[in-house]
Structure 1
Amino acid sequence: MFVDRVLSGMRPTGNLHLGHYHGVLKNWLALQQKYECLFFVADWHALTTHYDSPEIIEQHSWNMVVDWLAAGVDPAQATLFIQSKVPAHAELYLLLSMITPLGWLERVPTYKDQQEKLVAKDLSTYGFLGYPLLQSADILVYRANLVPVGEDQAPHLEFTREVSRRFNHIFGKEPDFENKVTQAIKRMGSKKGKLYGELRNRYQEQGDENALSEARLLLKGQQNLSMDDRERLSGYLEGRSKVILPEPQTLLTKASKMPGLDGQKMSKSYGNTIGLREDVDSIARKIRTMPTDPARVRRNDPGNPEKCPVWQFHQLYSSEDARKWVWQGCTTAGIGCLECKQPIIQSIREEQAPILERAKMYQEDPAQVKKIVAEGCEKANQLAEETMRDVRAALGIGYP
């Protein structure tokens, strides 16, 4: 059996903005309260598209970790580490590549989509083709069973499940498996062993998902079973042999509500961002020069908030009473566009204040940031090595 473990990462390709905060980091803050969480700097992934500018990656990596800590990610609750400091990611990536059909990689929806969007870069590389498999290795090397993704990333997780199933099918056939399962059930005791058998039958004969959940909980509470026995019985529940790499499940996250300065999704590629740690005067200038409803040419022209990018900011930042004030003032020309924008400027400043304060603390103590990451890398290496011992043994390369 495996613990509930969340894994998520970000590529260090530039400064984080408010879209990252509302779309990813706020979700991380909630997840670290509920699960064992591992958050990593995906520097190898950055090289798949930025291989021609590697000089940016190291500094962006450290800046990004400061951003995470400033946003409230707590190293006492979550493990923060850098992907390239855990070699097992690359080892598992290599080993999984031995069994992954080429067609699986070519059909990942974002493969051709990204090639079409990033036409200025030569992405006809093995690394770019294989990056979904590297993502799978990132997840599977920690046996992370919960992965927060948006709808656009769901195909990547399904790909990971396919890889996991294929690996377990090929390499999960343990010698004398049935006898080891029988002995493990006996160690549960007659009453709990009988209950396990009944739940397994209900799931396999009737497809009862509740029975599967109950059986997993039953195994989770069996302190007298070894880790190997729990894994065997977990696989036996689903009609499989030993589960070496468990299939991760999707933690579907809501799409970010953070609009860009032009009304599109906030994105560096659109040049419409507000930096997570951007200077307050710069933010004020950006908001004040935001485009508004083109119908409001003059101060006394009424407008339509639904045609104004600023209204999207009010939907995220303003109270219901404030939104009513904006709607009434805009549609009747009772307020001007600069008046409408001022509460947004104030709200962003208030949101930023604790972030900037924490960021300043970590910027003044870079040794502390490096210590947090070093400790996170050490823990990540330990967890990954536990998985790799089983993987190597299953592949027949677990040499003493």
Structure 2
Amino acid sequence: MSHKQRIVSGMRPTGPLHLGHYFGVIANWVRLQEEYDCFFFAADWHALTSEYADPTRIKGFVPGLVKDWVAAGLDPDKCVIFQQSRVKEHAELYLYLSMYTPLGWLERCPTFKEMNEQLKQKDLNTHGFLGYPVLMAADILMYKPCAVPVGKDQLPHLELNREIARRFNHLTGSEFFPEPADMLTEECKLAGLDGRKMSKSYGNSIMLSESIDEIAPKVRGMKTDENRLRKSDPGDPSICNLYPYHKLMTDPARLPEIEEGCKNASWGCVDCKKLLMQSLEKFLTPLHERRAACTDERVAEILETGSRKAQAVAARHMDELRKLVNFDF
């Protein structure tokens, strides 16, 4: 039995992961698996909150998500990788917690309004979408973690999670749920290839699963310092969309050379992109090799084993909760 402190986190399976996901989330998970008892899950029920009208693709996205995780360095021998919908106790705890959660708490959730505005082409005025923070609370509280790795945009959700835990504990006269701390992750300062936020929907991303041949034309068309109309024009790396990629993936010893070459115009943007392609190939090749080794059969094995481990913990905690609320019929 592990004596490490536990953390829990998940991602919605809505398509392939890109470099923003890697540097913003997955790289941190890879570090955490060495220090904590980590539970990472494919949040397929969460994907349904916005994809309910056409859920057919979710099933195919789950294996791809796991392959991207393994490619990025998650090790099933060091962490528990599982699928949310395979652990039915999540749905039961979601039901119980929904009974304890005031409607006003959900209506004031900032993401409810933001996503409704951003995804106007979809009808998100559903009970499932309004209540998804309760499902998120169930996902987390089920495993009684000490902390949850989150970005700043997720802090309101985690605070709501703690409020639900406090209310449940108060009304049941118990200390059943610990209040998980936020483990704030460093924001990934990596814009999309066109300078906007990196997003699958914008088509401005480099996917972890893309081949070098597929990436090359994307890098050639990448937005750089708009003030450099000609190679002879001096540039400013601090406002160049390309330079943050170098800071994350190019040998740090080369950065002063890149900066100086840009500022004195001895380097052109084409030179900079050629070096970035070399850095990308060096960075992505090990990921591609691990992904290729992670067959569909291996993914099925990972999810079967991980979901079984998660379900064992969830079943034990739900047995305790049913007794606490006198529903152990």
TM-score range, shorter chain: over 0.9
Aligned to 2:81: 80
* SS in structure 1 of the partner of residue 182 of structure 2: strand
On the 8 A contact 1:4/1:145 being kept in 2, the answer is yes
Q: Please give the alpha-carbon distance, in whole angstroms, between the structure 2 residues aligned to 1:380 and 1:328.
A: 52
1:375 to 295, 299, 305: 305
On the 8 A contact 2:249/2:283 being kept in 1, the answer is no
Asked if residue 390 in structure 1 is aligned to residue 320 in structure 2, the reply is yes
Asked if residue 170 in structure 1 is aligned to residue 171 in structure 2, the reply is yes
Q: Please give the alpha-carbon distance, in whole angstroms, between the structure 1 residues aligned to 2:228 and 2:192.
A: 20
Deviates more, 1:322-331 or 1:80-89: 322-331
Paired positions, count: 327
Runs of 5+ consecutive residues of structure 2 not aligned to the other structure: none
Q: Please give the alpha-carbon distance, in whole angstroms, between the structure 1 residues aligned to 2:149 and 2:71.
A: 21
Q: Please give the alpha-carbon distance, in whole angstroms, between the structure 1 residues aligned to 2:17 and 2:278.
A: 20
Q: CA deviation at 1:146?
A: 1.3
Asked if residue 101 in structure 1 is aligned to residue 102 in structure 2, the reply is yes
Aligned to 1:268: 200
Q: TM-score, length-normalised on structure 2?
A: 0.96
Q: Please give the alpha-carbon distance, in whole angstroms, between the structure 2 residues aligned to 1:307 and 1:4.
A: 41
On the 8 A contact 1:257/1:316 being kept in 2, the answer is no
Query: What amino acid is aligned across from residue 342 of structure 1 in structure 2?
Result: K
Query: What amino acid is aligned across from residue 313 of structure 1 in structure 2?
Result: Y
Q: CA deviation at 1:307?
A: 2.8
Query: What amino acid is aligned across from residue 387 of structure 1 in structure 2?
Result: H
On the 8 A contact 2:4/2:36 being kept in 1, the answer is no
Deviates more, 1:150-159 or 1:297-306: 297-306
Q: Please give the alpha-carbon distance, in whole angstroms, between the structure 2 residues aligned to 1:106 and 1:158.
A: 15
* SS in structure 1 of the partner of residue 176 of structure 2: coil
Aligned to 1:299: 231
* SS in structure 2 of the partner of residue 309 of structure 1: coil
* SS in structure 2 of the partner of residue 74 of structure 1: coil
Q: CA deviation at 1:320?
A: 4.4
Query: What amino acid is aligned across from residue 134 of structure 2 in structure 1?
Result: L
Asked if residue 159 in structure 1 is aligned to residue 155 in structure 2, the reply is no
Asked if residue 66 in structure 1 is aligned to residue 86 in structure 2, the reply is no
Asked if residue 132 in structure 1 is aligned to residue 126 in structure 2, the reply is no
Asked if residue 281 in structure 1 is aligned to residue 282 in structure 2, the reply is no
* SS in structure 1 of the partner of residue 122 of structure 2: coil
Q: Please give the alpha-carbon distance, in whole angstroms, between the structure 2 residues aligned to 1:317 and 1:72.
A: 16
Aligned to 2:183: 251
Q: Please give the alpha-carbon distance, in whole angstroms, between the structure 1 residues aligned to 2:252 and 2:185.
A: 24
On the 8 A contact 1:70/1:358 being kept in 2, the answer is yes
Query: Deviations 1:196-226 (Å, cap 9, x if unpaired)?
Result: xxxxxxxxxxxxxxxxxxxxxxxxxxxxxxx
* SS in structure 2 of the partner of residue 290 of structure 1: coil
Query: Stretches of 4+ moved more than 6 A in 1?
Result: none
> For the structure 1 residues 3 and 143, does the alpha-carbon distance in structure 2 shift closer, same or farther, using more than 3 Å as the test?
farther
Runs of 5+ consecutive residues of structure 1 not aligned to the other structure: 173-241
Aligned to 1:110: 111
Deviates more, 1:45-54 or 1:287-296: 287-296
> Over the residues paired in the alignment, what is the CA RMSD in angstroms?
1.4
On the 8 A contact 1:263/1:312 being kept in 2, the answer is no
On the 8 A contact 1:143/1:246 being kept in 2, the answer is yes
Asked if residue 317 in structure 1 is aligned to residue 317 in structure 2, the reply is no
Aligned to 1:342: 274
Query: Deviations 1:235-286 (Å, cap 9, x if unpaired)?
Result: xxxxxxx421111111111111333212333222332100001110121111
* SS in structure 2 of the partner of residue 12 of structure 1: coil
Query: What amino acid is aligned across from residue 160 of structure 2 in structure 1?
Result: F
Query: Deviations 1:137-189 (Å, cap 9, x if unpaired)?
Result: 001111122110011101111101110011111113xxxxxxxxxxxxxxxxx
On the 8 A contact 1:29/1:73 being kept in 2, the answer is yes
